[in-house]
């Protein structure tokens, strides 16, 4: 078990009619690291944050926080 891992995202996918907004996104965030979410307009930055906070429901994939799977279903739950 890696106790330094805070957030792990594996295979997160989200699409809208005619657009694959998140094509199976994977990443990990660990204690002590500094990250930025950057990309061009339309790259999926806002969609990723909205999936992680429960604004949008993911179609595929898993999210773990502190080694436990989470299923945010609404911003209040997230």
On the 0-12 / 13-18 / 19+ scale of CB atoms within 10 A, 74 is exposed
| Mean pLDDT along residues 4-15 | 95
Is residue 32 within 8 A of residue 51, CB to CB? The reply is: no
Please write the tens of the pLDDT for every residue from 17-58: 999 999 999 999 999 999 999 999 999 999 999 999 999 999
- Give the residue among 18, 17, 5, 11 at the shortest CA–CA distance from 48: 11
Domain range annotation of the chain: 5-70
* pLDDT of 76 above 80: no
Specify the pTM. 0.83
CATH architecture label of 5-70 = 3-Layer(aba) Sandwich (3.40)
């Amino acid at each position: 078990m890696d106790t330094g891992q805070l957030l792990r995202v594996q295979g997160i996918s989200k699409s809208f009619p005619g657009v694959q907004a998140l094509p199976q996104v994977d990443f990990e965030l660990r204690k002590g690291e500094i990250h930025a979410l950057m990309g061009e307009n339309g790259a999926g930055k806002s969609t990723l944050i909205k999936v992680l906070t429960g604004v949008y429901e993911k179609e595929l994939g898993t999210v773990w926080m502190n080694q436990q799977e989470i299923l945010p279903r609404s911003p209040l739950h997230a």
